[in-house]
Amino acid sequence: METAAPVKWLSKFQENREITVSVPGSKSITNRALLLAALSQGTCHLKGVLFSDDSRGFLDCLIKLGFNIEINEKRKEVIIEGTGGRIPDRKASIDVRSAGTAARFLTVMLAMAGGDYELTASPQMCKRPMEPLLSLLEACGVTFEFHGEEGHFPFALHSDGIHQKEVRIDTKISSQFASALLMCAAMKEDGLTVILEGDRSEGAYIKMTLAMMRQFGIEVEREGRKCIVSGNASFGVPVYEIEPDVSGACYFYAMAPLLKTCVIVNGVHENSIQGDIAFLSVLSKMGCKMEDTEKGICVDGRLLSAYPGQTLSMKDFSDQTMTMAAIAPFAASETRICDIEHIRYQESDRMKAIITELNRMGVSCEEIPEEKGILIRPVSEDGIRETEVETYEDHRMAMAFSLIGLKTGKIGIRNPGCCRKTFENYFELIEELQENNHAGSAEQ
């Protein structure tokens, strides 16, 4: 008999609060830094590392590939001995779990390095798209033996390296394909030119990848859609500091207009290389006051009597689509979130999940195919029905839709443990904030 998933009910949050919180390190930066450190020459000391299902899975894969790694979770640090682009064990088995970054980055790394490998993944990751990347690698001479559905995990990979000087990759479904090729291009002695195709070639995550490559000392030039990566196994840095996770910070910043609070997230600043920092500009358009303080960005919504709905493209910060969808029902006018078709192929079909769960709780939400997005109409707080929100094993659905619970006290989150993918103590932090009504602030 199947055990029912646990449900986390959210009680109404006190308004007009001042909140200061700390969030974990960035998942996107952590997993890029793990890869770049492993490929670099010499020892790299990573600080501010996120420890979650995804990053632990990535670390486990590197260890199984023979990398010498020292891990200190308490201090949020990892020390990696880089191997200059070589894989210590060229015949190994790894499990990428549910981590899309590990799945894409490590597949390309192993193809570039050459060897014989077995790659497995969680049932969720086995459903996510890999075919465009695998087809490109096959065209470069890599062979795959699929143990399930063709073009998906699990599979065996056999390679004697990639010898092409130029490759093309479509960014439409996942920019992680491009990021994987860009970072691993530095493994080739003669370098690699990566031509980015599709409508996300200028995406925030690709910009983050290029910025981090330069921080690690990799020579890369961009000419329009063409990225020219110099082969340079001698790159590396002795210490690399990982930024706090802006994606995680945005759930708290969204409380500013929704709950009329004032929020500071420690260590988050305007110069962040993370694309989700753009979400704060949306909150500013809603009427929140914003200031980059010494502690971190402060977003203040205490003086708002109401906030307007928005019409916006979220193509470059689509991880915040669910956050926007959670605060949109309480806006004074309708919200149109456009250019988000690619979120169908992430941890869940996020467009379908948003539409389904909002309608279940009494919010009118529908797809607008011509704008590759969704339309959300406003509803009164009384119009929200008591609902157990299905999270579809998607951490962002759980965290974003918890905001509706904090606003109304009518929402339960099924399987809240799915947050362990990126922010394993999210709900503990929410509870701490609720328990400190009189303290005025709480820190993780």
Is 95 an active-site residue?
Answer: no
With CA atoms as reference, report the closest residue to 144 among 158, 132, 131. 158
Residue 174 is assigned to a ligand binding site: yes
Helix (H) or strand (E) holding 137: helix 131-139
Q: Please report the sign of the dihedral spanned by the C-alpha atoms of residue 196, residue 197, residue 201, residue 206.
A: negative
Residue 100 is assigned to a ligand binding site: yes
The first and second tokens of residue 403, run together, are 């905001």
Catalytic-role residue among 319, 339, 349, 394: 319
Residue 350 is assigned to a ligand binding site: yes
Residue 346 is assigned to a ligand binding site: yes
Instruction: Count CB-CB contacts under 10 A for residue 15.
Output: 13
Structural contact between residues 326 and 370, judged by C-beta atoms closer than 8 angstroms:
no
Residue 222 is assigned to a ligand binding site: no
Residue 128 is assigned to a ligand binding site: yes
Q: Which residue bears the tokens 């087809």?
A: 135
Residue 28 is assigned to a ligand binding site: yes
Strands (E), 215-316: 220-223, 226-229, 239-241, 262-265, 289-292, 297-300, 311-313
Rg (alpha carbons) of the chain, rounded to whole number: 22
Residue type, 129: P
Structural contact between residues 442 and 432, judged by C-beta atoms closer than 8 angstroms:
yes
Structural contact between residues 128 and 173, judged by C-beta atoms closer than 8 angstroms:
no
Q: Which residue bears the tokens 């279940």?
A: 360
Residue 295 is assigned to a ligand binding site: no
Q: Residues annotated as binding site?
A: 27-28, 32, 100, 128, 174-176, 319, 346, 350, 396, 421
Instruction: List, by residue number, the catalytic residues.
Output: 319
Q: Residues annotated as binding site for 3-phosphoshikimate?
A: 27-28, 32, 174-176, 319, 346
Q: Residues annotated as binding site for phosphoenolpyruvate?
A: 27, 100, 128, 176, 350, 396, 421
